[in-house]
Amino acid sequence: MQIVFLMKQSNTNVNFENSIAFAQEMDAHDPLKKFRDRFYFPKQNDKDAIYFCGNSLGLQPKKVRELVEQELKDWETLGVEGHLKGKNPWYYYHHFTQEKLARLVGAQKEEVIAMNSLTVNLQLMLVSFFRPHGKRCKILLERGAFPSDQYAVQSQLKLHGLDPQKDFLELEPRVGELNLRTEDILSYIKNHGEEIALVMFGGVNYYTGQFFDLEKITTAAHESGAMCGFDLAHAVGNVPLKLHQWNVDFAVWCSYKYLNSGPGGVGGAFVHKHHGNNPEIPRLSGWWGHDEENRFKMEKDYHVMKGAAGWQLSNAPVLPMAIHAASLEIFEEAGIEILREKSLLLTGYLEFLLKETIKTALPELKILTPENPQERGCQISILTGENGKHLHEKLTQHGVMADWRNPNVIRVAPVPLYNCFEDVYRFVEILKS
Ligand SMILES: *Cc1c(COP(=O)(O)O)cnc(C)c1O
């Protein structure tokens, strides 16, 4: 019943109201409300903060401690034998998150792997999937991609003796517009097709919050003969994905943002089956990518594992992986589709209140994130005027944890797992005052 309530609301135009009673009414009908209590909230002035930084560092699930302690206990009592005799044998630890990750990103189990951290995974994927030849030697990104991605791409271009400026293509919005239009992305790929070796976008841009049409971009890249991969740092756990079906070649992500797996938590990668089962694809290798059953024969011949697991270098860091497993259980229980339903409403409500506030009280503010709900996740970026930094400090003093990004943006991310409509209402009230 309650789920139907939510679904219906987001498919039609909800008549949002600017009142605490309305926000509380929405919360009362929220089928996901029990999940808020599964997380620890940081304190601000002795009260739970209004936490809107889940796009930067997700909150700690209370369950984490238990799963980490299980591994500490096995280490304590079993020592090295924990590799095979632990409750969750460490030797196979990377398998324990595969199914849940696959469901989150719309992949088959063998197409995903939790390993390393995001930028490391991006470099590994670039080694395999950026294969410039002749004129086809450029990489296309959206303008203002996350700096780490830009550095990784520049370094790969240099590695191939290419020009880190000339061969680095950045697609900009039209003059006077804040975000890219899908039609412009597609026509750019088509018109410059023969020089692009790889299209590599952020799935959701970290700064603007724009969620790109990954399926259409992938198809356009393939039609022009290029590879296509995505950095899903801000997409995974935020929006439903269908990486397998969309034919994406590769993707990478981190787990400490929407996936709540702790600071510096273990990252992830997707490699489409077309490539994952091809041992000939060039890659950087290590023993954990070697066929599991014969790994300990310690032989010189390298037999790569099938699937994304074949890109592993090292044995899995069990403690961060235990945190990751605890967090993924929550996603499994909630389900990304229903999370998205709530997210559309929650972000829609934030936008509604912000627009009113901009009209009546704060005309110097402007919303940077696309208006179309299909083109954004659960983040709204607010362009501030001159004293944006001061405004952000004031918010912090009043118990709001939102994120400041230079030069002039406050990013606000109401996360459907643990944020509620009342958080959004109270935040806008504080902003106004
Ligand atoms: C957060 C983020 C990163 C961070 O990279 P790490 O390797 O995890 O430090 C990289 N790229 C994007 C798009 C991000 O949002």
Rounded distance from Cα 296 to ligand 1 centre (Å) = 34
Other Cβ atoms closer than 10 A to 268: 29
Confidence (pLDDT) at 318: 97
Instruction: Classify domain 68-333 by CATH number.
Output: 3.40.640.10
CA-wise closest residue to 172 among 163, 184, 183:
184
- Which H/E stretch holds residue 273? helix 273-276
**8 A C-beta contact, residue 291 and residue 305:** yes
Task: Select from 146, 234, 256 the residue to mutate for testing ligand 1; criterion: most ligand atoms less than 8 Å from CB.
Answer: 146
Q: How many whole angstroms from 134 Cα to the centroid of ligand 1?
A: 31
CA distance 24 to 327: 27
Q: What are the residue boundaries of the structural domains of the chain, listed by start?
A: 11-52+336-432, 68-333
**In terms of Cα–Cα distance, which of 334, 345, 429, 331 is closest to 25?**
345
**Structural fold of domain 11-52+336-432:** Aspartate Aminotransferase, domain 1 (3.90.1150)
For residue 28 the two structure tokens come to 């009362």
3-class SS of residue 247: coil
* Share of the chain residues as helix, strand and coil, in percent rounded to the nearest 5: 45, 15, 40
Rounded CA-CA distance 354/347 in Å is 10
Helices (H) and strands (E) in the chain, counts: 14, 17
Residue 160 tokens, joined: 């191939």
Backbone angles phi, psi at 325, to 5 degrees: -60, -40
Q: Are strands 366-367 and 409-412 parallel, antiparallel or unpaired?
A: unpaired
Beta strands at 400-401 and 50-51: parallel, antiparallel or unpaired: parallel
For the CA of 149, the closest atom of ligand 1 is 11
What values do phi and psi take at 73, rounded to 5?
-65, -45
Domains 11-52+336-432 and 68-333 share a fold: no
3-class SS of residue 332: helix
Q: Compute the distance from residue 206 Cα to the ligand 1 centre, in Å.
A: 9
Pocket test for ligand 1, best of 121, 125, 148, 149 (most atoms within 8 A of CB): 148
Distance CA 402, CA 201 (A): 25
Give distance in angstroms: CA of 233 to centre of ligand 1.
Answer: 6
Nearest CA residue ID for atom 13, ligand 1: 146
Using a 6 Å CB cutoff, which residues line ligand 1?
117-119, 146, 148-149, 202, 206, 231, 233-234, 254
Distance 267 CA to ligand 1 centre (A): 9
Nearest CA to ligand 1 atom 15: 233
- Per residue of the chain (433 residues), what is the pLDDT tens digit? 344 445 455 554 679 999 999 999 999 999 999 999 999 999 988 999 999 999 999 999 999 999 999 999 999 999 999 999 999 999 999 999 999 999 999 999 999 999 999 999 999 999 999 999 999 999 999 999 999 999 999 999 999 999 999 999 999 999 999 999 999 999 999 999 899 999 999 999 999 999 999 999 999 999 999 999 999 999 999 999 999 999 999 999 999 999 999 999 999 999 999 999 999 999 999 999 999 888 888 888 899 999 999 999 999 999 999 999 999 999 999 999 999 999 999 999 999 999 999 999 999 999 999 999 999 999 999 999 888 999 999 999 999 999 999 899 999 999 999 999 999 999 999 999 8
Q: Which atom of ligand 1 is nearest to the CA of 121?
A: 7
The helix or strand, by DSSP H or E, that contains position 411, with its residue range, turns out to be strand 409-412
Using the CB atoms, write b or e for 135-154: b if 16+ within 10 Å. ebbbbbbbeebbebbeebbb
- As a whole number of angstroms, the longest Cα–Cα distance in the chain is 72
Task: Give, using CA atoms, the residue closest to atom 8 of ligand 1.
Answer: 118
Atom number in ligand 1 closest to CA 202: 13
